[in-house]
Amino acid sequence: MLSVLRHRQYRRLFTAQVVALVGTGLLTVALGLLAYDIAGSDAGAVLGTALAIKMVAYVAVAPVITAVTDRVPRKVLLVSADAVRAVIALLLPFIDQTWQIYVLIFLLQAASATFTPSFQSVIPSVLVEEEEYTRGLSLSRLAYDLESLFSPVLAAALLTLMSYNLLFLGTVAGFVASAALVVSTTLPRLVAADRSIPLVERITRGARIMLSRPVLRGLLAMNLVVAAATGLVVVNTVVYVRDLLDGSNTGVALALGCYGCGSMLVALLVPRLLASVADRSLMLTGCVVIVVGLGAVLALLTVEPSAGLGWAMLAVIWVALGAGTSMVNTPAARLLRAESDLDTRPSVFTAQFSLSHACFMLTYPIAGWVGAALGQLAAALALAALATLGAATAARVWPANIRAASELVVTGGR
């Protein structure tokens, strides 16, 4: 997998991604502490609102920005987004009102909604060989998972030496370094956009392409399966560990680590698996693993709180859910690349970015609000049903006789 880093352009872009991810991880920790300073016991509500704002920015802003900036060189767009994120991170330590958090978080996430899909759409033009691109996707997935484990540890270590406000400087440094690396990288030229197409059509272009193609319709349904698993893990891990298993904050971190380890294991294996297994087979297997894992959560909720069996079950289920999400997420960009061309690629990648996050706007409230109002069993049952519906829909709308174009590239159409 690491052999793809011999590619100079990709190596710089991957490094830019890693340093920006670390900066974002530090921002997450610092923002939580800032919210507590400003709102006290209402910090959870503040962060919950900030998360909702993030999703709104991802879903609503990304397609509009992509359509409006379709003639802006990718390097200019990426560097500008990093610059905006750095300035906002620099401003965050100086705010003292809740509404200011909301405004700055919206602007920050709008910049991220500009950067991420543009960045993802550039990589296929840099790694043109299918095998190299698959390795690049696996490495990128690994970077996301490692960041989720590494950043909190780094933040904890830094907090023993400095105030949390200084963590925002680490975020600024991450975004500045990312921008510098992008500046030093030669990126492919942008295909001139056709401005004769009305703006509304350009905004919805990626979504319309995804809905028109069986392979990408299948991916849209799989996004719902992944969101069901992610919603349960992100929102309710702390509830399961602290209330169900009578664990500590360390137990919460270990449980999330199990989820990350499952995802990383699959990310390492994906290039080898896709050499012999079809994209559809691997991704639907991931969906089945998620559905079974969410079903197993129902059994977990009946275990005695102090039972060692409960901890073992949670660890195994969280590893399985992490593995299942990675089976879907890691190959997804292969489908987007293969089902688009240089002209439509930014729109298609943006549509996937936006629509996949729209699923979280459904599953996060189910995990949180249903769990609080009707109990964790009801929330897990609702998410398991949602994942089952998504998996069944994916298998139906992406028939087995329709092969992903990425497989045709590898096999020469055989």
The model's pTM is 0.81
Question: Tokens 């830094």, residue?
Answer: 158
Flag the least confident range among 153-162, 300-309, 405-414: 405-414
Q: Can you tell me the distance from the alpha carbon of 266 to that of 364, in angstroms, rounded to the nearest whole number?
A: 24
Residue ranges per domain, the chain?
1-196, 204-409
Q: What is the pLDDT of residues 371-401, one digit of tens each?
A: 888 888 999 999 999 999 999 999 999 988 8
Q: Can you tell me the distance from the alpha carbon of 142 to that of 116, in angstroms, rounded to the nearest whole number?
A: 16
Dig out the tokens for 300 from the structure. Answer: 């977990």
Q: What's the helix, strand, coil split of the chain in %, to 5?
A: 85, 0, 15
Q: How many CB atoms lie within 10 A of CB 19?
A: 19
Q: What is the pLDDT of residues 124-143, one digit of tens each?
A: 888 878 788 888 888 887 88
DSSP 301: T
Q: Do domains 1-196 and 204-409 have the same CATH topology?
A: yes
User: Mean pLDDT across the stretch 4-25?
Assistant: 86
Q: Are 167 and 26 in contact (CB under 8 A)?
A: yes
Angle at the Cα of 345 (from 399 to 63), degrees rounded to 5? 100
pLDDT at 410: 45
Residue type, 381: L
Spatial CB neighbours of 350, under 8 Å, sequence gap ≥ 6: 62, 63, 66, 117, 118, 121, 206
Flag the least confident range among 303-307, 350-354, 365-369: 303-307
pLDDT at 341: 84
Q: Can you tell me the distance from the alpha carbon of 389 to that of 379, in angstroms, rounded to the nearest whole number?
A: 15
Q: What is the biggest distance separating any 2 CA atoms in the chain, rounded to whole angstroms?
A: 65
Q: Are 293 and 228 in contact (CB under 8 A)?
A: no
Q: Where are the alpha helices (DSSP H) in 57-166?
A: 62-68, 74-91, 98-126, 130-159
**pLDDT > 80? residue 71:** no
Dig out the tokens for 258 from the structure. Answer: 């199990």
Mean pLDDT, the chain, as a whole number? 84
Total length of the chain: 414
Q: How many CB atoms lie within 10 A of CB 129?
A: 13
Q: What is the rounded (10 degree) CA torsion for 379, 382, 387, 393?
A: -160
Q: How far is CA 290 from CA 82, 390, 398, in A?
A: 34, 11, 18
Q: What is the pLDDT of residues 205-232, one digit of tens each?
A: 889 999 999 999 999 999 999 999 998 9
Architecture of domain 204-409 in CATH? Answer: Up-down Bundle (1.20)
Q: Which CATH number fits domain 1-196: 3.40.800.10, 1.20.1250.20, 3.40.50.740, 2.130.10.10?
A: 1.20.1250.20
pLDDT at 414: 35
Measured in degrees and rounded to the nearest 5, phi and psi for residue 161 equal -115, -20
